[in-house]
Structure 1
Amino acid sequence: MQTINVEKPKPKSATPDSLHLWFPNLFEFKGGIQVYLQDILQAIQEGLPNLSVCILDKLDRNKPVDKFTSNNYSFTFSGSFPGFLKTLHFAFNLIFKALSKLPKFILCGHINFAPIALFVHRLTGIPYVIIVYGIDAWEIQNIWKIKALYAAEKIISISGYTRDRLINEHNLSPDKFELLPVTFDAERFEISPKPNYLLERYGLKSNQPVILTVTRLSSDDGYKGYDQIIQALSQIKHQLPDAHYILAGKGDDRARIEKLIAQLNLQDSVTLAGFVPDDELCDHYNLCNVFAMPSRREGFGIVYLEALACGKPTLGGNQDGAIDALCHGELGALVDPLDVDAIAQTIIQILQGTYPNPLIYQPEALRQKVIDTFGFVRFKQTFAELMKNSPIES
């Protein structure tokens, strides 16, 4: 694995062991990026407990009192400011604190902040690293973001898919990239029988084949693939008449989905479960016989890991970060996310026990494999390797 080596001159007055983290938000909204950045912060706290860290957070107003209480951490929040003032306050603090504190290293938690990192770098020589996720970094047109990618010390990608897209789209050197895949809390997800209370809630039988998707139902996230599963359900039911699809999540796309279900006369075969609280999420994974999300624009997809940790056969799309989450098909099934027939036939195979990957039918082995590959211990080790010869260790 490549490490972050600094060839450029370092500021003579740099504060020892100083790291600046520029994050969009961490606490008040729980999405994939926010969870990933919290995992990075936890990895720093556990692996580099004596490091002085300054966290600048654009959208949050404060932090929970029980989160990241190290005396070596300082937080600056811009979320209390209205509208454009929030952006101005955040940008001012990024520049002011970088110029006044002269950290050894800046970690940009989003590519939107990279142009400011480039500006600071040109003034001071402070090296910076950019984290890229998925659609945030695909097909970039902004010239300053592109310049910032070229000038970055390293680019950390959560998936090989996003890394490869950036290399191909902007002719970036592969040596500039490091992979730090998404992790998950394995202790929250375990293998167990189908929960009786959910069987009763949804009017299901214990031996009924259940397909599950967990995602936001946002009109901006139509690429998640739940439309294709609904369209595939008639084919699936032809082979497995009592198959049932549970789509868990909330958002502004629900009315359109309800209309599609009615058009296909699938009201008795699809349940829109709405928002699933954290304390019921594991139970929902254990309720299903297959977790399916044939997305085509997923940066990685932590839900795949959570389902795998519950020992569930898992299906994803073969055109996005699900390729990495499912280890190129080693941990699950990858299909063309636009091919409804392929989705239907693959789900039928999985439910009938004929899909040609024996690992997906070995729940304990599947769980152990995903923990070994993507658990927090591995995440922390990978992050430590990335930081080993970084500016903060020099």
Structure 2
Amino acid sequence: MEIAEQIKTKNIAIKKAASVAKGKIVLLLLQSFGTTGGVQKMTRTLAHALNIAAKNTDRDFKAISLYDDESNLMEQYIAPKNFAGFGKNRFRFFIETIKAIHKKDTVILTHINLASLGLLIKLLKPKCNIWLVAHGIEVWNPLQFHKKLLLNYCDKITCVSRFTKTQMIDRHKVNAKVCYVLNNSLDPFINIPDNFTKPDHLLKKFKLKPATPVIFTLTRITSNELFKGYDNVIIAISRLKEKFPEIKYILSGQYSAEEETRITNLVNDVGVNNQIILTGFIPEDELNEYFLLADLFVLPSKKEGFGLVFIEALARGLRIICGNADGSMDAIKDGELGKAINPDDIDELENSIDELLTDSITPAERKKLQQKCLQYFSEEMYVQNIQKLLATAD
């Protein structure tokens, strides 16, 4: 028994030494738990996956957030012992982050707005591996000097799509050797349905029949982001209502009073008052039912870094139509999982909706689409890809 205990103690010491040699993983967040949004969802999933990857590679893990505080933490993603939140206290966030980082740690900045801290870490602890997550539009435009400077000191830049990687190289002349594509993955706690029956309570709520053709869009609804393409969908619906007289378009997402007025005016102008349902914000725990209610998910956007909502729709067995001019192509695997169109071509959008509504999908086909999505975008695959990146840092 004594020998066994000695061996166990020795193995623990060896494991601990290996962890120290490799350094720990420190994930720096702006905000992931106190609000909703695509980047927030993505960074929660990243935190959960990194925690698993850290354990698999004998590293420690710590997530540190500027805007979240301790009460915002969703403990299914990270244990409290692995998290520190500073509730907008920038000074404490900077100081405690610097104290927490050692020379061989891998430090992952989840947004370019953390550039100042990234530069400070590299200055004080140059042997740290600094990674930057490049999402989309925040790095597609000209950058301030300190943000541009950070790109020169990153050991890795993980881009959520090939499109974003291309933007980083072409716009900012980043060394292609430090740019890697790491597609987003599904939230590990997403509701994955076993069947695809339309929810009765939503049919009743919106006065729909099970056979009613339903188009669904879930996005930010703001006058600053008209590139999302929902105006074009409204116009396409006005053209399709003669062939599909019961067609409904559910447009969901939080909106301002000003944007509601603008959309209402457009709806009146093209004569689709009876076809458009503007729901406003949908709580996370209700989203699954809205995806199940729909026959198609349509978001012909022009500026998606990746399009997390596409794989969320696919995970519910829902066919999608997206734009072909941005990171959406990664989410649909270049057309294997969905249909991509020119987001400025309303005729093509109309014809694509018509085609998919006419060629109805069976439950078995929805299940197959769901399984393909899970094959490509599961957290298990995400963790494997992260571990490959970590291996190159050892």
Provide the rounded CA distance (Å) in 2 between the counterparts of 1:161 and 1:69. 30
Task: Say which structure is richer in helix.
Answer: 2
1:128 corresponds in structure 2 to: 130
What are the superposed Cα offsets for residues 251-293 of structure 1, whole Å, 9 maximum, x if unpaired? Answer: 2122321222122221101111222223321121111111101
SS of match in other structure, 1:299: coil
The verdict on how the C-alpha distance between 1:346 and 1:141 changes in structure 2, with shifts beyond 3 A counting, is same
Distance 1:162 1:359, change over 3 A: farther
Q: CA deviation at 1:88?
A: 4.1
Partner of 2:60: 52
Q: Does the aligned pair in 2 maintain the 1:22–1:108 contact within 8 Å?
A: yes
Contact 1:335 1:343 in 2 (8 A): yes
- Quote the offset at 1:23 in angstroms: 0.8
| 1:229-255 deviation line (CA, Å, top 9, x unaligned) | 011112112332221111122221223
Q: Which residue of 2 aligns with 1:378?
A: 381
Given the superposition, is the C-alpha separation of residues 69 and 232 from structure 1 closer, same or farther in structure 2, using an over 3 Å criterion?
A: closer
Q: 2: CA distance between counterparts of 1:384 and 1:270? A: 45
Which amino acid in structure 1 is aligned with residue 66 of structure 2?
A: K
C-alpha deviation, 1:334, in angstroms: 0.6
Distance 1:386 1:275 in 2: 36
Distance 1:115 1:310, change over 3 A: same
Tell me the amino acid that sits aligned with residue 55 of structure 1.
Answer: A
Q: Give the SS at the match of 2:298.
A: strand
**Paired letter, 1:178:** Y
Q: Does 1:66 align with 2:75?
A: yes
TM-score, structure 2 length as denominator? 0.86
Kept after mapping to 1: 8 A contact 2:110/2:133: yes
Q: Distance in 1 between matches of 2:285 and 2:25?
A: 35
Whether contact under 8 Å (1:294, 1:315) holds in the other structure is yes
> Alpha carbon RMSD of aligned pairs, Å?
2.4
Query: In terms of mean alpha carbon deviation, does 157-166 or 54-63 score higher?
Result: 54-63
Q: Please report how far the alpha carbon of residue 89 of structure 1 lies from its aligned counterpart in structure 2 after TM superposition.
A: 4.0
Aligned pair in 2 of structure 1 residues 172, 16: CA closer, same or farther (>3 Å)? Answer: closer
Structure 2 CA distance, aligned partners of 1:146 and 1:172?
9
Q: CA deviation at 1:347?
A: 0.7
Larger RCO, structure (CA 8 Å, separation 6 or more): 1
TM superposition shift of 1:30? 2.0
Match in the other structure for 1:197: 201
Superimposed CA distance per residue, residues 95-145 of structure 1 (whole angstroms, 9 cap, x where no aligned partner):
4544xx445221111111124312331343122010010111112332221
**Counterpart for residue 364 of structure 1:** 367
Change (3 A) 1:70 1:282: closer
Partner of 1:296: 302
Residue 209 in structure 1 maps to residue 218 in structure 2: no
Contact 2:73 2:80 in 1 (8 A): no
Given the two structures, how large is their TM-score scaled by the length of structure 1? 0.86
Offset at residue 34 of structure 1 (A): 1.7
Cα distance per residue 1:166-216 (max 9 Å; x no partner): 111122232211222111147513241112211111111211111111122
In the alignment, the residues of structure 2 paired with residue 121 and residue 97 of structure 1 have an alpha-carbon distance, to the nearest angstrom, of 14
Amino acid of the residue matched to residue 64 of structure 1? L
1:5 is aligned to none
Instruction: Trace 1:1-394 onto structure 2 (pairs within 5 A).
Output: 17-49=23-55, 51-62=59-70, 63-64=72-73, 66-67=75-76, 70=79, 73-75=82-84, 77-79=85-87, 81=88, 86-98=89-101, 101-102=102-103, 104-125=105-126, 126-185=128-187, 188-190=191-193, 191-252=195-256, 253-353=259-359, 362-390=365-393, 394=394
When the two structures are aligned, how many residues end up with a matched partner?
367
Per the alignment, do residues 315 and 69 of structure 1 end up closer, same or farther by CA in structure 2, a change over 3 Å counting?
closer
d(CA) in 1 for partners of 2:35 and 2:132?
21
User: Which AA in structure 1 matches 2:59?
Assistant: L
Is the 2:41–2:187 contact (alpha carbons within 8 Å) kept by the matching residues of 1? no
For 1:212 and 1:107, the matched residues in 2 are separated by 35
Name stretches of at least 5 consecutive residues in structure 2 with no aligned partner. 1-19
Aligned-partner SS, 1:238: coil
Amino acid at match of 1:128: I
Which residue number corresponds to residue 3 of structure 2?
none
From the superposition, tell whether residues 183 and 286 of structure 1 become closer, same or farther in structure 2 (CA, over 3 Å). same
Identity of aligned residues (%): 27
Q: Confirm or deny: 8 A CA contact 1:331 1:359 kept in the other structure.
A: no
